[in-house]
Amino acid sequence: MKPYFKSNILPEFIIHSRVNSSVEGYGLDTVSECLDKTHFKNYPYKVEHKFNDRGFRDDVWPVSNLDECIWCVGDSFTVGIGSPREHTWTYLLQEKTKIRTINVSMDGASNTWIARKTSSIIESVVPKNLIIQWSYIHRRELFNTRLSDENRRLWHAEDLFDLEANISLTLDNVSQVDALAKTRGVNIIHTFIPHCVPLDDKELFYDRVRQLKIGIVEYNVLDKARDGHHYDIKTADLLTNNIVNSGLLNI
């Protein structure tokens, strides 16, 4: 018999400012903040960022069989800022696999936040499949645990340019959640956002990542979202196909 999960599973998973909200654009996805105003104005799709009762860009979570869902954790690239939800990799993955995906993502999320949320999911839900899209390696968060996740975001760390410190912290986060997943029998797949490291250091970083002997899916950037920073459906579709075709999913 499949386990039943109460609707209050992971009650601390909430982005307060986004709960049950709907906005057309925010952050970089506005004409004043976007990277390319011409691209923004000529973007052919309607973009609406709708968030559920937990503040995630997802439908309301099901109350049962959450372990059968594919859990996806990440930052704004997983939120899909600047693109219709139908263009996001989590949505496309659900369409391709016919398995419900759960999107746990926050713009500005650090890899420490991602690791912490992933660990809670592994411990509380024990999902069959979990996919992480890791963030920029230089991001940090404040240590004050009494603050909300949103208020703990630290966009620029003092050691922003300390490459070795940034790589080491990221690999520590990756290793810890991967090891935890193995102890609980959770199938975990790792991906990294475009330019998570400076371009000149990309090969060095990925060489270090591959030494961990973990399940990794790589991809290239093929297009841009409306804001000119995040990627759009072509890249999301490539990533999704690479995940599906990798043989790493437990389906």
Q: Could you give all domains of the chain from N- to C-terminal order, each with its CATH number?
A: 23-245 (3.40.50.1110)
What per-residue confidence (pLDDT) applies to 156? 67
Tell me the mean pLDDT in the region 137-157: 89
What per-residue confidence (pLDDT) applies to 3? 38
Q: How far apart are CA 70 and CA 128, in angstroms?
A: 7
What per-residue confidence (pLDDT) applies to 30? 97
The band of 158, judged by pLDDT with boundaries at 50, 70 and 90, is: low
Structure tokens at 241: 């196909």
Question: Helix, strand or coil for residue 105?
Answer: strand
φ, ψ for residue 170 (rounded to 5)?
-60, -45
Mean pLDDT over the full length of the chain: 93
CA distances (Å), origin 230, targets 48, 90, 100, 141: 15, 15, 24, 21
CA distances (Å), origin 35, targets 39, 77, 226: 9, 16, 9
What per-residue confidence (pLDDT) applies to 8? 76
Pick from 115-119, 151-155, 203-207: least confident = 151-155
In 3D, which of 27, 74, 71, 67 has the Cα closest to residue 49? 27
pLDDT above 90: percentage of residues in the chain: 89
pLDDT at 159 over 70: no
Burial zone of 41 (CB within 10 Å; 0-12 exposed, 13-18 middle, 19+ buried): exposed
Query: pTM of the full predicted structure?
Result: 0.94
The band of 199, judged by pLDDT with boundaries at 50, 70 and 90, is: confident
